[in-house]
C-alpha cells in the first residue's frame, strides 16, 4: 500500500539520500550519453537535506513523499508562482526498487490535486526527452508538450510540458 503525504522536516535527510539514488539511477539508465555528469553532480548537490528543510518553510513550495511499507519510496516537489495560478513541478522521482508500482502516478496525482485546491489553472514542468518513462507518465496524466527547448540547460534539449486544470 502506498501512502502519499506532505513531507515533514524529519524526512529531509532521507529525502535527500533518496533523491541522490534516484538521480544516479536515471542518469545511468537514460541520461549518461545525453546529460553531462557535471550537471548531474550539480542537481544532486542542490537537493540536500538543508534544501528540503528550507523548502518546507516557504508557503508557496510543496513537497510530497510516497511511502511504501513505512519507507520513503518517492518524492515530488514544486512551487506555486505567487497568486498567478501557475504551479511548477520542479522534480519527481521514484526509487528504482519501487518503480512500476504506480508510485510516480500517485505522487503526480497528489501534486495535481494540491494545485487544484490552490486554484491553479496550469501546472508546468521541464523534462529531458530521453526520460521516456517520465514523459509517458506525464502524457498519461494529461500533460502536453508545450515547447521543445534547444540547448536550454547544460547545453542539452528539454521539453516543457503543461497541464491545464
The pLDDT score that the predictor gives to residue 31 is: 97
Show the cell assigned to 33: 550519453
The pLDDT score that the predictor gives to residue 11 is: 97
Given a contact cutoff of 8 angstroms between Cβ atoms, the answer to whether 114 and 7 are in contact is no
pTM score, whole prediction: 0.96
Report residues of the chain scoring pLDDT below 70. Answer: none
For residues 162 and 3, what is the distance between their CA atoms, to the nearest angstrom? Answer: 25
The pLDDT score that the predictor gives to residue 121 is: 98
Given a contact cutoff of 8 angstroms between Cβ atoms, the answer to whether 107 and 89 are in contact is no
The pLDDT score that the predictor gives to residue 1 is: 83
User: Which residues neighbour 100 within 8 Å (Cβ) at sequence distance 6 or greater?
Assistant: none
- Grouping H, G, I as helix, E, B as strand and the rest as coil, residue 48 is coil
For residues 149 and 128, what is the distance between their CA atoms, to the nearest angstrom? Answer: 10
Determine the CATH number of domain 2-164. 3.40.630.30
The pLDDT score that the predictor gives to residue 163 is: 98
Q: For the chain, what are the domain ranges?
A: 2-164
User: Which residues neighbour 159 within 8 Å (Cβ) at sequence distance 6 or greater?
Assistant: 126, 127, 128, 129, 135, 145, 147, 148, 149
Amino acid at each position: 500500500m502506498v501512502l502519499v503525504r506532505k513531507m515533514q522536516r524529519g524526512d529531509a535527510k532521507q529525502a535527500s539520500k533518496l533523491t541522490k539514488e534516484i538521480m544516479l539511477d536515471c542518469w545511468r539508465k537514460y541520461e549518461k550519453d545525453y546529460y553531462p555528469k557535471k550537471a548531474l553532480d550539480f542537481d544532486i548537490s542542490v537537493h540536500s537535506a538543508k534544501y528540503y528543510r528550507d523548502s518546507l518553510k516557504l508557503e508557496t513550495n510543496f513537497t510530497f513523499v510516497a511511502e511504501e511499507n513505512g519507507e520513503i519510496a518517492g518524492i515530488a516537489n514544486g512551487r506555486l508562482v505567487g497568486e498567478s495560478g501557475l504551479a511548477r513541478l520542479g522534480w519527481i522521482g521514484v526509487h528504482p526498487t519501487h518503480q512500476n508500482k504506480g508510485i510516480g502516478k500517485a505522487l503526480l496525482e497528489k501534486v495535481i490535486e494540491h494545485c487544484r485546491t490552490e486554484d491553479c489553472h496550469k501546472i508546468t514542468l521541464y523534462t529531458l526527452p530521453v526520460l521516456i518513462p517520465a514523459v509517458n507518465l506525464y502524457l498519461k496524466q494529461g500533460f502536453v508538450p508545450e515547447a521543445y527547448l534547444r540547448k536550454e540547460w547544460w547545453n542539452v534539449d528539454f521539453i516543457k510540458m503543461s497541464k491545464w486544470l
